Structure 1
Amino acid sequence: MSGAKDSNLLKWIKLISITGGAQAIVQLTSLLCGLLIIRLLPTKEYALYTLANTMLGTMSLLSDGGISTGVLALGGKVWEDKKKLGIVLSTGLQLRKKFAFFSLSIAVPILVYLLLHHGASILTTVLIVMALIPSFYSTLSDSLLEIIPKLHQDIRPLQENQIKVSVLRLTISALTVFLFPFTFIAIWAAGIPRILGNIKLRKIAGKFTETSNEIDPGVQKEIFKIVKRILPGAIYYCLASQLTVWLISIFGNTANIAEVGALGRLSMLLGVISTMFSILIVPRFARTKESGKALLKRYLFILAAMLVILSGITFIVMLFASQLLWVLGDQYANLEKELVYVMIGYSANVLMGLAIALYTSKGWVINPVYAITLSVLLIISGIFIFDLTKISGVLKLNIFIAVSELMIHFVFGFFKTWSVEKE
C-alpha cells in the first residue's frame, strides 16, 4: 500500500515538474513579449493594442459558447475509444465554425467603433481588424484540440508546442515591433505563431482519435444541451469579464486604457498556476468515476489549494509592487495600489474560473437566468458604490463583482457535488 502511494506521489511530482517547468517558460516568454510591446509601442498604440486583444478574447468566448465544455464533458466519457472521441471532436469543431460568423458579426463592429473613438484612423482600424484574423482562426480549434491530449494526460508534446509558439512569438515581435511600432504589427506577430502551433496541435490530437469529419446527431444534441445553458451566460460574460476595459473606454481616456492593459500583463504571473490546474486537474476531475463524499472532498481540496497559492502570490506582489512596476517603464511607475487591485481581481476571477471549469466538466451548468440576474444586480450596485472616473474605482468594482460571483459559482458547485453524495 505504501509502495503504491509512493509511486503515485512520484508520478504527480513528475507531472507537476514537467507542466510547471514548461508553463514557467511559456509564461516567461509571454511576459517578456508583453513587456517588449509595452515598452516599444507608444501609449496610444498600446491602448489600441489593449482594445484589440480584449475584443479577440470576446470573439473567442462568443465563438465557443459552451462547445468546449460539451466536448470535454462528452470526451471524458469516451476518452479511451479513439473513434468515439474523434466523432466528439469533429462534431465540436463543426459547431465552432458555425458560431464563428455569429461572433464576428457582433464583435467586429464594436471593435471598429472603439478604435475610431480612441483616435485610430480608418486605415489603422482596417489593418488591426485584418491582423486579428490569424489569431481568431486558431482559437476556433485550439481549445478543442487541446482537450484530447489533456484527457489522456499526454502533457509533454502539448507543452513543447506551447513553448515553441511562445518563443517564436517573442522572436517575431522583437524583430518587427522594434522596427515598426504599430498595433497591427504586434498583433500579426502573435497570430502567425498561433497558426503554426495549431497545425502541430492537430497532429498531437490525432494520436488519440481516428481522423473523421463525421457528425453524430446524438453527440451534437448533447453538446447543444450544454451550449443552450452556457451560451446566454457566455454572451453576458463576454461583456462582464472585460468590464474594466469597457468602463475605462467610456469614462476614462486613452492613457487609462494603456495603464490597465500594462498592469494586466503583470497578472500573467498567475498564468502558470492557472494553466497547470486546467491541464492536470480539470481533465482528471472530468473523467473521474468518484461520487459521494470523495467527489465533494476532491472539489473542495482543489479550490482550497488554488486559494492558498493565489493568496501567496498576491501577497508577494504587494511587497514588491514598486520593483514589478519598474519593468513596465516610467509612465506606469506610480500605480502600486492599482497593481494590487488588479492582482486581487484577477485572483478572484481565476478561482471563479476554476470552480466553473470543475462543475461544467461534469456536465453541470448553472441556470443562466439566475447567474446573469445576480451579476447584473451586482454591477448596478457597484456602479453606485465606486467612483468610475478613476482607475482605482473601476478596479475596486472589478474586485467586488469577481468575489461576489466567485461565491455564487462556488456554492453552486458545492451543492451539485453534495447532491451527488445524497443520490
Structure 2
Amino acid sequence: MKVLIHRAYKSFNLNETIAWIKLISITGASQVFIQGLSFVGGILIIRSLPTNQYALYTLANTMLGTMSVLADGGITTGVLAQGGKVWQDREKLGVVLATGLNLRMKLALLSLLFSMPILLYLLHHHGASWIMTLVIAAALVPAFFTSLSGSMLEVTPRLVQQIIPLQKIQVGANLGRLTLLVASVFAFPLAFIAILAAGLPQIWANIKLRALSAQFADNTQKPDAEIGRQIFAMVKRLLPESIYYCVSGQITIWLISILGSTTSIAQVGALGRFSMVFGVISTLLSALFYPRFARLPSDSRLLLKRYVQIQAVVIIVSGAVICAVWLLSDKLLLLLGAKYAGLSTEVVLLIIGGGINFISGSSFYMCTSRGWVINPIITIVISIASISLGVMLLDISTLRGILIFNILVGLPTLLMHIVYGVRRILTVEQSGD
C-alpha cells in the first residue's frame, strides 16, 4: 500500500493538475453557456410550435443527423487521425484538411440523393402537405451543407488546442440562432422557419472557422491522393457502421415514426432536449481530450491510463445526470409546457438511454481518433441481434416501450466498444500502433 501511495505521489504534478483544472473550468463554463443557448432555443421551438409542426421539425432534424453521418462516413475521424501525425506542420495539415473536405463533398451529394426521398415520404405520411413537405426539405439543405463544412473546419483548432477562439465562434453562432428564433417562430410557428433560423448562422460561423483554421493549416493546399487513400481506408471500415448507425442510432425516432403517432414523435423530440446535457460533456471531450488522446505516443501503459481516466469521468458524470433527472423530472417537464406533462418516467428512461450511448460513444471516439476501427461485421451482428431481441420482447408502438427498447439496444454496443478499446490498447506495443 505504501508503495502505491509513493508512486501516486511521485506521478502527481501540482502545476499540471492546476493547469488542467483551469482549462477544464474555462472550457466547461463556455460549453455550458453555448449549450445553454442551444437549450433555450430548443425550448423556445418546443413551446412555440404546435405539436404537429414540432413532429415535422423532429423528423427533419433526425434526417439532418442521418444525412450528416452518411456524408461524413468516418472522414472527420480520418482527418483527425492523419492530422494528429502532422499537426505541427502547417502545409501538411493543410493537405490533410483539403483532402478531407474534398472527400466529404462527394459523400454529401450521395447522402442527399439517398436521404431526401425518405424524408419526403415521412413528412407527407405524418400530415404535411406536399408544398409544406418540399419547403421543409429545401430549408434543410443549407443547414446540411454548412454543418458539414463547420465540423470539418473545427478539426484544426481542436488539434492545435485553440479552444477559446473556437468557443467564441460557437457562442456567436448560437447567439445568432437564438436571435433569429426569437424574431421568427413567435410570428411564424412553422417547422421550416425554425429549421432556417437554426441553420443560417452557421454560414457566419464557417467564415470565421475558415479564417481560424488557415492560421494553422495552409488553405491553399490541394487534396493529396495518398492521404485520400489513407482516409478512405478508414471510411471503408467506418462507413458500414455509419450506415448502420443511421438506422440504429436514431432507431427510436424511425420506429415511432412508422409504428407510432405524430404526437409520439413530438414527445420523443421534446424529451430529447434534456439529453443535450450529454452534448455539453461530449463537446468538452471532443475539444480537450480526444485530440490529445490522438496525439499520445504509442505507449500502451499511458494510453490505457488516459483511456480509463476519461471513461471513469464519463461514467461518473452520466450517473450524476441520470440521478438528477430522476429527482427533478416533474420540474424539468414544466419547461416543455403542458403539452408534455405527465412524462416523468419517460424522461428518465430517455436519459438512461442517452447516458449509455454517451459512454459507448466516448470509447468509440477515443479509438477512432487513433485510427482504430472495430470490424463493422461484429458491430452490425451484435446490434441486429439486440434490436431483434428488443422487437420480440417489447411493445415498441408505445413511447415507454420504445425508450426501454433504446436502453436494451445500447447495452451490448456499450460493452463491445469498451472491450475493443481495452484490447486494442493492450496490443499497441506489439503492433506499433
Q: TM-score, normalised by structure 2?
A: 0.96
The aligned amino acid for 1:217 is A
Of 203, 206, 216, the match for 2:211: 203
On the 8 A contact 1:145/1:201 being kept in 2, the answer is yes
On the 8 A contact 2:346/2:400 being kept in 1, the answer is yes
On the 8 A contact 1:293/1:421 being kept in 2, the answer is no
The aligned amino acid for 2:293 is F
Q: CA deviation at 1:213?
A: 4.1
The aligned amino acid for 2:201 is P
Of 40, 49, 64, the match for 2:72: 64
Of 284, 303, 306, the match for 2:292: 284
| Secondary structure in structure 2 of the residue aligned to 1:211 | coil
Q: CA deviation at 1:164?
A: 0.7
CA distance in 2, matches of 1:121, 1:71: 41
Q: CA RMSD in A?
A: 1.4
How many residue pairs get aligned? The number is 423
On the 8 A contact 2:356/2:414 being kept in 1, the answer is yes
Of 116, 119, 122, the match for 1:108: 116
CA distance in 2, matches of 1:149, 1:316: 33
1:238-253 alignment to 2 at 5 Å? 238-253=246-261
CA distance in 1, matches of 2:402, 2:326: 19
CA distance in 2, matches of 1:402, 1:385: 15
User: Is 1:162 paired with 2:186?
Assistant: no
1:11-90 alignment to 2 at 5 Å? 11-90=19-98
1:90-239 alignment to 2 at 5 Å? 90-239=98-247
The aligned amino acid for 1:68 is T
Q: Percent identity?
A: 48
On the 8 A contact 1:134/1:194 being kept in 2, the answer is no
Alpha-carbon distance change, 42 to 80 in structure 1, aligned in 2, over 3 angstroms? same
User: Is 1:304 paired with 2:347?
Assistant: no
| Secondary structure in structure 2 of the residue aligned to 1:320 | helix
On the 8 A contact 2:290/2:366 being kept in 1, the answer is yes
On the 8 A contact 2:298/2:428 being kept in 1, the answer is no
Alpha-carbon distance change, 102 to 30 in structure 1, aligned in 2, over 3 angstroms? same
The aligned amino acid for 2:419 is V
1:391-402 alignment to 2 at 5 Å? 391-402=399-410
Q: CA deviation at 1:2?
A: 8.4
The aligned amino acid for 1:296 is L
The aligned amino acid for 1:264 is G
The aligned amino acid for 2:124 is L
On the 8 A contact 1:27/1:271 being kept in 2, the answer is yes
CA distance in 2, matches of 1:16, 1:298: 16
Q: CA deviation at 1:233?
A: 0.8
Q: CA deviation at 1:131?
A: 0.6
Give unmatched runs, 5+ long, in structure 1.
Answer: none
- Aligned counterpart, 2:264: 256
Q: CA deviation at 1:258?
A: 0.3
| Secondary structure in structure 1 of the residue aligned to 2:52 | helix
- Provide, for residues 337-391 of structure 1, a one-character-per-residue CA deviation record: whole Å limited to 9, x for no partner: 0000110101111111111100011111111111111111110111001111211
- Aligned counterpart, 2:16: 8
The more displaced of 405-414 and 295-304 is: 295-304
The aligned amino acid for 1:57 is G
Give unmatched runs, 5+ long, in structure 2.
Answer: 1-8
Q: CA deviation at 1:39?
A: 0.4
| Secondary structure in structure 1 of the residue aligned to 2:217 | coil
On the 8 A contact 2:241/2:376 being kept in 1, the answer is yes
Q: CA deviation at 1:15?
A: 1.2
On the 8 A contact 2:298/2:429 being kept in 1, the answer is no
CA distance in 1, matches of 2:340, 2:12: 52
Of 370, 373, 381, the match for 2:389: 381
CA distance in 1, matches of 2:109, 2:328: 44
The aligned amino acid for 1:180 is F
CA distance in 1, matches of 2:293, 2:53: 42
Q: CA deviation at 1:5?
A: 2.1
CA distance in 2, matches of 1:4, 1:147: 31
- Provide, for residues 236-283 of structure 1, a one-character-per-residue CA deviation record: whole Å limited to 9, x for no partner: 111111100011011110000000000001111222111111110000
CA distance in 1, matches of 2:203, 2:359: 30
| Secondary structure in structure 2 of the residue aligned to 1:94 | helix
CA distance in 2, matches of 1:99, 1:339: 35
Q: CA deviation at 1:63?
A: 0.4
CA distance in 1, matches of 2:166, 2:300: 33
CA distance in 1, matches of 2:321, 2:145: 34
Alpha-carbon distance change, 90 to 359 in structure 1, aligned in 2, over 3 angstroms? same
CA distance in 1, matches of 2:96, 2:189: 43
- Provide, for residues 2-44 of structure 1, a one-character-per-residue CA deviation record: whole Å limited to 9, x for no partner: 8992221222122112211111111111111000000000000
